[in-house]
Structure 1
């Protein structure tokens, strides 16, 4: 018989490390997206695309700061 509901994690610390790894990976993706948007501004500095790219950079910076706060809370305390 197939099991529909998965077993819960064995240890909370294991799931905490998985969460931390996911947050670090997300941070790396945000950094890459920020670099791409910055390069787009340098390649085409004219409006109207420039304004949208600057707004994107602002949102990426905001998301990155929120991510760093989440990562600080997810790190295990000894």
Structure 2
């Protein structure tokens, strides 16, 4: 079934909230991996954990950049 009326654009404040929350989750996940690595666990799995940490830190940087970009956009009121 096709939609006749498109969805309204996301309010930038809502998008900003989502990005901030995603950044917090990435930060927490990276902290968990760092804690696991500090326990001295040495095995082939440690390489995967280091890779996961790198990916989470990269994700966090991308999300922080997106938050900054959203915050810099001019605020437009929602039209009704």
Helix, strand or coil at the partner of 2:57: helix
Long gaps (5+) in structure 2: 75-80
- Unpaired runs of 5+ residues, structure 1, are none
In 1, the alpha carbon distance for the partners of 2:67 and 2:7 equals 26
Partner Cα separation in structure 1 for residue 57 and residue 7 of structure 2: 37
* Alpha-carbon shift at residue 44 of structure 1 (Å): 4.1
Segments of 4+ moved more than 3 angstroms: 4-7
C-alpha separation in 1, matches of 2:71 and 2:22: 15
Does residue 29 (structure 1) correspond to residue 14 (structure 2)? The answer is: no
Task: Write 1 or 2 for the structure with the bigger share of helix.
Answer: 1
TM norm structure 1: 0.76
**TM-score normalised to structure 2 length:** 0.75
